[in-house]
Structure 1
Amino acid sequence: MGADSPDLGSQALSKVVEIGLASQLDASEEIAVDLRTNPGNFIQGKLDSVEISGKGLVVKQDLRLETIHITTDEVAIDPLRAVFGNIELTHPTDAEAQIVLTEADINRAFSCNYIRSKLQGLKLEMDGNPVTVDVRSASLDLPGENKFVIAAAFVLREQNEIKKFSATAIPQVHENGNQISLEILAAEGQGLTLKLVMVIFEQMTALLDLRNFDIPGIALKLHRIEAQVGKLVIHAKTQITQLPTL
């Protein structure tokens, strides 16, 4: 067995984390965990690295992740607890993560009951008059060049009128590292007000709050975002305080 090959103990611990991670998700297509160490380092309470990969993971608000990939450097653990399958970190470790969301999965999440409920009964002002807005539909197009194109149809309750708008925006990292904010480049449509566009945008981007992707012990902080053709690539940094186990 080569120096870089995992031993049976590492494989067993990796499987424990895989099962623990799967138990904390609504659904998953593939999960792979690779804990790398050797007997000498393990006795000293050290894992050389941890790599977590997943495909088709469904997390909060019915949001599906096309892929997620998390990598760490050396991890300090309690070796005695680990022998019994309880991988307890003795101090936090830094890691990097990359999450890919497809345009189709984002739009599916926009149509879920949770997000739809957030887009009903919006109290706004148009032409100096208070109005109540119900968003009938909203969709996101990712044409590339780091742009979002959002289209929505909404009803003005008081007038019982259906109106539509679309807007192009550039995603930016919010200062708190959890959320994405949008800089509007252009907008057009019927009954359009900037406040209406911003309210709808805020509710839609709330879905992409990284706290929706948190797994117990693994909290993500947004570092960089790329809006590519048909997909959103999120680069994040994280501090891991525990690895998922049953």
Structure 2
Amino acid sequence: MIGGFTAPPTGTDFGERMLNKVLSQSIRHLFSQCESVDVAIRCSPSSKLLQGSVDNFKMSGSRLVIRKDFFVESMSFETDAVSIDFGSVLSGKVRLRQPTQAIAQVVLTEDGINQAFTAELVQKRLQNIDTPELTNLSGGEPVSFTDINLQLLPDSRIKIFAKAELPNGTIPISLLATLAVERRRRISFQNPQFNADAVLEEVRGVSKVLTMAFAEILDNMVDLDRFDLDGVTMRINRLETQGKQLIFSGYAQIEHFPGSK
């Protein structure tokens, strides 16, 4: 469903209310599911809207799903000045005359991150891995990583428990690492450490090798370009953990809105 529109300020005309509604509908189509999407437009004086000039708009959404499998607790952005084709609004679309940027924040939960590990897109990167390092441990057979559980820790640290499926059995693995941002688009798992205390002593040797191989796979897996929304490119300036939440702050480059090209 779409949340209620932010009440327009006194003197805002019908065109601004229409743009508010069309923007809300367009943004909603960026997501597979959403609990709420709210948009607030600032345009002063409101007559500028007829020339397609908007001072900025703010969007906030909660409990969103991207590409059917990736749960986002909340997402918000606030744009720079926006130039639109007002005629497109009359036909139920929002067409930008030029791209615009927005300050953005994305909040993920620990549960949402763990749900993402079960997504088909992610599973493909974790199943039937046949690197020499792993096949040396498995008698030449591919190795798969399953039952992944991530815990968020203070100071952008994480702890991961998982299982490595080998032909002759299952080996538990456990990893400690620090999350960081590289090139504003890639999430890096830095300073990975084998968490020996979480693994039985008799399998620690092979578990350590598997854990460090798993860490390398993770470090090359999370690239925001694989999760871009239609017409919106996200870039991250910083991340931090707060309790059971992982918070990204950065910006969005908005080229177009869904259905407006």
Alignment match of 1:166 (pick from 154, 174, 195): 174
Bigger drift between 96-105 and 218-227 goes to 218-227
Residue 53 of structure 1 contacts residue 70 of structure 1 at CA under 8 Å; is this kept in 2? yes
Q: TM-score under structure 2 normalisation?
A: 0.82
Q: What residue in structure 2 maps to residue 55 of structure 1?
A: 62
Residue 61 of structure 2 contacts residue 76 of structure 2 at CA under 8 Å; is this kept in 1? yes
1:195, distance to aligned residue in structure 2 (A): 4.8
What SS does the aligned partner of 1:122 have?
coil
Q: What residue in structure 2 maps to residue 214 of structure 1?
A: 228
CA distance in structure 1 between the partners assigned to 2:247 and 2:10 by the alignment:
30
CA distance in structure 2 between the partners assigned to 1:88 and 1:150 by the alignment:
44
Q: What residue in structure 2 maps to residue 231 of structure 1?
A: 245
Identity %: 27
Alignment match of 1:32 (pick from 20, 30, 38): 38
1:41, distance to aligned residue in structure 2 (A): 1.2
Residue 21 of structure 1 contacts residue 245 of structure 1 at CA under 8 Å; is this kept in 2? no
1:73 aligns with 2:77: no
Bigger drift between 77-86 and 26-35 goes to 77-86
- Would you tell me which structure has more strand in proportion to its own residues? 1
Assess, with a 3 A threshold, how the Cα gap between structure 1 residues 151 and 86 changes in structure 2: closer, same or farther: same
Assess, with a 3 A threshold, how the Cα gap between structure 1 residues 113 and 73 changes in structure 2: closer, same or farther: closer
Deviations 1:101-134 (A, max 9, x none): 0000111111233322321111132595545211
Amino acid in structure 2 at the alignment position of 1:182 = F
1:226, distance to aligned residue in structure 2 (A): 0.9
Q: TM-score under structure 1 normalisation?
A: 0.86
1:137 aligns with 2:137: no
Query: Unaligned regions of 5+ residues in structure 1, if any?
Result: none
Residue 8 of structure 2 contacts residue 17 of structure 2 at CA under 8 Å; is this kept in 1? no
Q: What residue in structure 2 maps to residue 241 of structure 1?
A: 255
Q: What residue in structure 2 maps to residue 13 of structure 1?
A: 19
Q: What residue in structure 1 maps to residue 49 of structure 2?
A: 42
1:4, distance to aligned residue in structure 2 (A): 6.7
